[in-house]
């Protein structure tokens, strides 16, 4: 299988925080709602790289950096950082955008692992990642280290 550059997996989604998305009194977005949006955005990036269906295997890291409020425009960006034999790590960055000024504020980041599956729901092989830019190479190496840590933590082999 030919390696694929991360740019082919990039996905951007935009959401508007509505009253049903918030905790009511404080008007702050529920963490579970932003987690759902992250899973969708990152899942689409993983599907693009895998060339078909994927399932979420883990959310390795999720950091809420600042609150998201009622009425905020939320921009989610995801891209594959690393691919193993049947799985990919996807990084997702979440920002709010002021529609008047277009200024953005970084609010949330996450790393997710997805497994490519066949029509029977069994893991299937996928293409490796071919980082092109210095930033992509840095993300690739960091993702490779996170994968090794995840595998060690679960007592599994760290082979690719």
Split at pLDDT 50, 70, 90, the class of 52 is very high
Say which CATH architecture domain 6-153 belongs to.
Roll (3.10)
- Cα–Cα distance between 24 and 154 in angstroms, integer? 39
First to last CA, the chain: 15
- pLDDT category at 142 given cuts 50, 70, 90 is very high
For 20-40, the pLDDT digits (tens) are 999 977 899 999 999 999 999
Measured CA to CA in angstroms, residue 58 lies from 39, 71, 138, 151 at distances of 10, 30, 22, 12
Domain boundaries, the chain: 6-153
SS3 at position 101: coil
Residue 111 tokens, joined: 């790393």
């Amino acid at each position: 299988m030919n390696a694929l550059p991360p740019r082919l997996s990039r996905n951007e989604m935009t959401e508007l925080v509505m009253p049903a998305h918030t905790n009511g009194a404080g008007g702050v977005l529920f963490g579970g709602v932003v987690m759902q949006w992250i899973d969708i955005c990152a899942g689409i990036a993983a599907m693009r790289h895998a060339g078909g269906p994927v399932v979420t295997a883990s959310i390795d890291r999720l950091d809420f950096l600042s609150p998201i409020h009622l009425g905020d425009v939320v921009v989610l960006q995801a891209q594959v950082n690393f691919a193993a034999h049947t799985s990919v790590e996807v990084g997702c960055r979440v920002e709010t955008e002021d529609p008047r000024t277009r200024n953005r504020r970084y609010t949330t980041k996450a790393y997710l692992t997805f497994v490519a599956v066949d029509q029977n729901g069994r893991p299937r092989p996928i293409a490796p990642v071919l980082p092109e830019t210095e930033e992509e190479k840095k993300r690739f190496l960091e993702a490779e280290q996170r994968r090794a840590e995840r595998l060690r933590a679960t007592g599994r082999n760290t082979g690719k």
